[in-house]
Amino acid sequence: MITTALAFCMVDMFDTLGTLYGACSRGNMLTEEGEVPNFEKAMLSDAIATVTGAICGTSTVTTFVESSAGVAEGARTGLAAFTTGVLFFVAMFLSPVAVLIPTCATSAALIYVGVLMMGGVADIEWHKPEVAVPSFMTIAMMPFAYNISYGIAFGLITYVFICIFTGRVKEIKPFTWVVGALFAIMFFMTH
């Protein structure tokens, strides 16, 4: 029971973290220090939505990386999110019609979102193995694991191992040790 709760907590937290950072990065909304503005409020609202969704019996409520497409086009105030919500409400009644649309018709939008997400790859310091290998593992494992947080977990664990085996143990921050250990425990206990 505890391992399941830990797994869900880690997955939701890092899915949201990765999505927030990606959307803010794409919309040039990061602070000068490279941080997400109002990070605590964003994480708290996601947590409240997740708990509320679970209480109501819905599927997991989460932040979607597809939001970066709207942010890249200038969505900042919440009007785009409100419009999306209204359209989803209307779509509930049109779902029999939506089934008639083939999956290949929506693939162009998904490819566009993928292209937007890959824009940040140019900022990775590919000449540094301790940065390049974990970055590659993160990027590669997201589609293979079909999970953003699993990709982050693989990248973080890879970073810890590279620092250990190259004699850079002192570069690993305490938070990185804790989160890396939690991810390793999560993988060991759930798979």
- Sketch the domain layout of the chain as residue ranges: 1-96, 124-191
Q: What is the pTM of this model?
A: 0.57
Alpha helices in 2-128 (DSSP H): 2-26, 39-56, 67-72, 79-98, 103-118
Which amino acid would we find at residue 160?
V
pLDDT of residue 4: 65
Average pLDDT over residues 2-26: 75
Computed on alpha carbons and rounded to an integer, the radius of gyration of the chain in Å comes to 18
For the stretch 145-177, pLDDT in tens is 888 788 888 999 999 999 999 888 888 899 889
User: When comparing pLDDT for 87 and 106, which is higher?
Assistant: 87
Is pLDDT above 60 for 1?
no
Is pLDDT above 60 for 139?
yes
Instruction: Calculate helix-pair angle for 2-26, 174-190, nearest 10 degrees.
Output: 130
Q: Say whether 78 sits in a helix, a strand or coil.
A: coil
Query: Rounded distance, CA 23 to CA 19, Å?
Result: 6
> Using 50, 70 and 90 to split pLDDT, how confident is the model at 136?
very high
Close Cβ partners of 19 (under 8 Å, ≥ 6 residues apart): 62, 63, 64, 65, 67, 68, 148
Average pLDDT over residues 2-21: 74
Is pLDDT above 60 for 90?
yes
Is pLDDT above 80 for 61?
no
> Using 50, 70 and 90 to split pLDDT, how confident is the model at 86?
very high
pLDDT of residue 2: 67
For the stretch 16-59, pLDDT in tens is 887 788 777 777 778 888 888 888 888 888 888 888 887 888 77
User: When comparing pLDDT for 32 and 70, which is higher?
Assistant: 32
